[in-house]
Each structure stands twice: as C-alpha cells, then as structure tokens.
Homo-oligomer: A and B are copies of this chain.
Amino acid sequence: MTKQNSGHCSVQDGVPNSSPHREAGEELLDKQQLQERMSLIGRKILVMSGKGGVGKSTVAVNLAVTLAMHGHRVGLLDVDIHGPSVPKLLGLGRETIHTSDGAVLPVEYTVDGHNIHVMSIGFLLENPDNAVIWRGPVKMGAIKQFLKDVSWGALDYLIIDSPPGTGDEPLSVCQLINGLDGAVIVTTPQELALVDVRKSVTFCRQLRLPVLGVIENMSGLLCPHCGERIDVFSSGGGEKMAGDMGVPFLGRIPIDPEIVKSGDEERPYMYYYPKTVTAQRFDKIVDRIAGNESSVASGVKNKNTV
C-alpha cells in the first residue's frame, strides 16, 4: 500500500494484486492473513445504497460513532475509492498512513475515550482534489489490502461504507469477507431513488447477504422559520419499499440542515448533537441494528414529530 504521488491523479487499467500470475502459495497466505484479521472482528456490516447522495457515508460514520459511544470497539472502513467521504466527515482529512511490523496502522478517531479505527483511500491521497481513476480490478486489489493489511485488531464492529451502486466495491467486500453479517441499505423517499435501492436488495439476495434493514433518510424537513413540514423528497417511500420487498425497516431520519453543517464542519452529528430529535431517532435505529434497546441519548422518547 503506497502513497499516491503521481502529480494530479493515477490512471490504472492494469493487473490487480490478486492476479492469477501470482504464486499459488502467496495467494493462500493472503487468504489466511485476511481470515485471521476478520476472525478477530465480531460483526461486519456493509452500509450501501443503489443511489448516491442519500446520506450513506453520514449514516456509516454516525453508526460507527454511536456504537463507540455505547462502549463498543469499532472499525470504520471506507471502500468508496472515487469519492471517499469518511476522512472529511471525521475531520481526518490531513491524516496519512503509517506502518508498523509490516501492517498498516488505522487512523484513530476518539469519542468518549474510545478509539474508532478508520481506513480510507482518502488517507493515501497527497491532495484531496486528486481523482482516483482506477478500473474495477485495481479497486478490488485495494479493498483486499484494506481488509488484509490493516491492523484492525479485536473489534466488536467493522462498519464498511460502500459507494453507491452494485458494482466492484460492494461485490469485492462480499466476496472477500466470509461471514459478513449483513447490509444496512440507505435510501431517500422519492421513487427515483427507490428504483435504484430496490436493486440493492436484489444484489443482497443474489449474494445471500442478509438485509439488516432499510433507513429512509432525508424524510421531510421542518421549516426552521415557520415550523411547517416540507416533503422535499416526498416521504414514506423507503418504508413502503421495505414492506413490499419483505426486508426490515429501521426508521426515518428527517432532513436536518444541522447534519449537513456538522458534516461540513467535520464534526460527527451524533457526538456533537446527541440530544436533538434527529439524534434520538438515529439512536433508535442504531439500537435496532445492534439488536438492543439501550440508548445513548436516553430520557427523550416518543418525540419523533417529523
């Protein structure tokens, strides 16, 4: 895993690390190392969506942060090669990669004294404006390295933020990780998004990956001036789609300009604004994913007025 330093960006159509030309023994060693790393991790959850811009990275980051706030040991892997958002959302944009004893050290993000282990292609770019112009097989090689060569250590959760669609990145994750626990699918409520998100459900079925549930994000906005509700992207579509396709529905999150602002300010919303109605609602969703009913933002219930 080397730092990209080729001027503006890198165009690679070449052979990935997992080329058939490699020694069979080396391949086997790779596989063993990957399995060993993954065996130390409790639950591995893929956050995906058929549609871009639905808040998938925001969900992945805040899911990781909330689980850490609950006291879990958490890793967060960003496999969005062309548009890595995780470093920016956590204010880690200037971090770079270090190695120790042949392993790549994850970048640490601390919440409430708990370290989240973070890895992203963003840490390998000399300039955040650089474009990673890689074709699929090279991306598969990079994702394999992220899983195999990073010293994740013992974790309760590994949250994997995938780019939109049903292409190389989520496919690579599914093929590389034995015992992936399931996928959280994020959507917005309008039909145009749902067309794509239904494809994500089909993708999971085809690859026999359990769907942990659907989150309907950007579901209505309360006008900060008059308090009236505005259905910017319609509402209820994600819940209906989950019902139609027979997968669990995890909950709705309203549009909240504060979430956008917290992202731009590089401060994860759930850590900096845990008492808001939006945070309460997200916290319940995390509880459903984690399979428990305790809440980081306790005491404020049944306030989901949007």
Contacts and interface: CB of A to CB of B under 8 A. Distances in A.
A9 interface: yes
Contact of A196 (B9, B11, B85, B166): B85
B230 A221 contact: yes
Nearest to A57: B192
A257 interface: yes
A201 B108 CA distance: 31
Contacts of A83: 50-52, 164-165, 195-196, 199
Interface string A114-143: 000000000000001111111111011000
Interface centre among A135, A167, A255 (most CB of B within 10 A): A167
Contacts of A88: 191-192, 195
A130 to B, nearest CB: 6
A156 interface: no
B53 A195 contact: no
A209 B41 CA distance: 44
Contacts of A196: 82-83, 85
A182 to B, nearest CB: 17
Interface stretch (A31-39, A94-102, A260-268, A274-282): A260-268
Contact of A206 (B11, B233, B260, B261): B11
A81 B196 CA distance: 11
Contacts of A181: none
Cβ-closest 5 pairs across A and B? A52-B52, A53-B53, A136-B136, A82-B165, A226-B226
17 contacts: A8-B202, A9-B166, A9-B206, A50-B82, A52-B163, A52-B164, A53-B53, A81-B167, A128-B195, A128-B198, A129-B201, A130-B199, A133-B167, A133-B171, A135-B137, A136-B167, A190-B264
Given A85-B195, A129-B201, A131-B206, 14 more contacts: A50-B131, A82-B165, A83-B164, A83-B199, A134-B167, A135-B171, A136-B167, A163-B164, A191-B263, A192-B263, A226-B228, A232-B255, A233-B257, A234-B264
